[in-house]
Amino acid sequence: MRGIVLPGNQKAHVRDWELEPDLGPNDVQIDIEAAALCRSDMSLYDGDPLVGSGEDEQYIPGHEPAGTITETGSNVDWLELDDRVAVNCFIGCEHCEHCLRGDPMLCPDVEILGFDRHGGDAEQLVTPAVTCHLMPDEMSMATGAVSTDALGNLFSTMRDANVDATDTVGIVGLGPMGLSGVLNADAFGATVLAFELVDERREKGLELGADFGIDPVETDPEAEVDAITDGDGLDTVVECSGSPAGIQMSLDLVRKHGTVVQIGEVHGTDVSIRPSEQLIRKKATYLGSWYFTRDEWPAIASFIVDDIGNDRAEQILSHRYPLEDAAVQEAFRRFDNHETQKVLFTP
């Protein structure tokens, strides 16, 4: 089968790979119809993997795929041929406390698609059936590819922060995760403030439901928030930039008894915070958010279909590419240069 290879030197290619020779009793085989590119994939592109144990070129990348089941293992009785599925990228041991709670990403023996084993940037994928989430008929394959790592993650974030229609929510950084936050917070009924330096991204946030678009460099974000909230501050701030400045701003803007949720990853730098001023004397909550629990999927799928919709969900995608060498090279190059939003491969 054809699949992407990342040599680790900021190059990307398509080559022929051997399909997994044996389908395990608990596995399924999937024809991939859509696979989204994630910022964490760029660590493989750069040759400095964010997670995982694989060596360069050992595994096909891609941890945000969706497709159709073409074969099932002998023990798999709850999935059938032609079922449409979005794939959870985390494969846990299935018996530790975290796996039993539905949090395989926290398993001490977790494997991650595209990092520890073959991922979804290919024509086919063999994966444990437990990683498959049945997609509603109304959900498009493109939406399915962004329904887990992006939209599902941010849905779970909003629930963890108890966001509702009475809240004023700030989203810091409008990459694909931030735009997913805008879509979710708007669909939850909240008033949404989008903080972003890049004009085009800020405009996209407004298109997707943000009530206010704020450039935190050109304006005083605290003054803007005070004017909008009558000096109370934000009920919830979702930090998606991973920048020290974005984190500081998030903690400064949250109100007393408010919640800051950290989604943006921080690499290669330390972040200083002021605990007394930013947390203790506000009695604020600072949460980390990473994916969703398996039992949340039915609510996520219904919410995406009924409250967000395919048309709006797919707007976080800016480019689509076939699984061809020149196209894949362009996709990674442009994504690396921040010339795109979410990128989709269509094997």
Give the whole-angstrom CA distance, residue 319 versus residue 221. 31
| Residue 317 within any structural domain of the chain | yes
Per residue in 227-277, pLDDT (tens digit) is 999 999 999 999 999 999 999 999 999 999 999 999 999 877 889 999 999
Are residues 220 and 94 part of one domain? no
For residue 48, give both structure tokens: 């400095």
CATH code of the domain containing 40: 3.90.180.10
Residue 187 lies in a domain: yes
Query: Residue 1: exposed, middle, or buried by beta-carbon count in 10 A (0-12, 13-18, 19+)?
Result: middle
What range defines the domain where residue 284 resides?
151-288
Residue 8, domain member (yes or no): yes
The alpha carbon of 135 is separated from its chain's Cα centroid by a whole number of angstroms, namely 17
In a domain, 244, yes or no: yes
Structure tokens at 342: 């979410």
Q: How far is CA 244 from CA 40, 60, 161, 167, in A?
A: 18, 32, 22, 25
Half-sphere exposure of 69 (CA within 13 A, CB side): 26
Task: Give the CATH number of the domain where residue 213 resides.
Answer: 3.40.50.720
Residues 246 and 274 grouped into a single domain: yes
Q: Tell me if 146 is assigned to some domain.
A: no
Q: What is the pLDDT of residue 208?
A: 97
On whether residue 294 sits in a domain, the answer given is: no
User: What secondary structure letter does DSSP report for 136?
Assistant: P
Q: Please tell me the number of Cα atoms within 13 Å of 341 on its side-chain side.
A: 23
Q: What is the pLDDT of residues 187-242, one digit of tens each?
A: 999 999 999 999 999 999 999 999 999 999 999 999 999 999 999 999 999 999 99
303 in any annotated domain = no
Counting the structural domains of the chain, the total is 2
Q: Are residues 47 and 157 in the same domain?
A: no
Residues 121 and 203 in one domain: no
* Residue 264 · residue 177 · CB < 8 Å: yes
Does one domain contain both 19 and 129?
A: yes
Interatomic CA distance for residues 137 and 134, integer angstroms: 9
